[in-house]
Amino acid sequence: MEIKPITKENFPELVEIYGQGLATNIATFQNDLPIWEDWDKGHLNFCRISIYENNEMLGWAALSPVSSRCVYSGVAEVSIYVATIARGKGIGEILLNELIKQSESNEIWTLQSGIFAENQNSIKLHEKCGFRIVGYREKIGRKNGVWKDTVLMECRSKITGIN
């Protein structure tokens, strides 16, 4: 397995995996596939990682800012997606642990994730990688007309930020 950065060149592979996540209806509120320019603008310019085996992208993870205010410069939101063919094989754990490591190298002290309450696999993955549940948002948004609850999870760095 090889960790590679996400670039405009491998973005079509990311979109393919993202589409597989959209198809589950428990991965994101989004319904449309992004174009590079929008995705690029919406994510931090570091901590954009993908994982490959035999030249095939099996998953990706990236960070988005939670606020433009400088006080939150060390807080970021996690996106993580694993290809259908690679689910249940530890790919998500490798990616999320690498994302945590890289985020700390970039002065991120808090990672957060908002996960659909029914997405128990993602919740368990985050817990396995050191995230804890800090809240529950009831009917925070609609997905295809259905109100969804989300679980708010966070991972606080033990080496960056508050020591």
Each residue's pLDDT tens digit in the chain (163 positions)? 999 999 999 999 999 999 999 999 999 999 999 999 999 999 999 999 999 999 999 999 999 999 988 888 899 999 999 999 999 999 999 999 999 999 999 999 999 999 999 999 999 999 999 999 999 999 999 999 999 999 999 999 988 776 5
Residue 146 inside a domain? The answer is: no
Residue 129 inside a domain? The answer is: no
Backbone angle region of 156, left / alpha / beta, with phi > 0 → left and psi within -120 to 50 → alpha? beta
Residue 120 inside a domain? The answer is: no
How many domains are there within the chain? 1
Q: Which domain holds residue 29?
A: 2-111
Residue 41 inside a domain? The answer is: yes
CATH number of the domain encompassing residue 67? 3.40.630.30
3-class secondary-structure state, position 42: helix
Any idea of the CA torsion for 28, 130, 132, 86, to the nearest 10 degrees?
A: 30
Residue 117 inside a domain? The answer is: no
Residue 145 inside a domain? The answer is: no
Residue 28 inside a domain? The answer is: yes
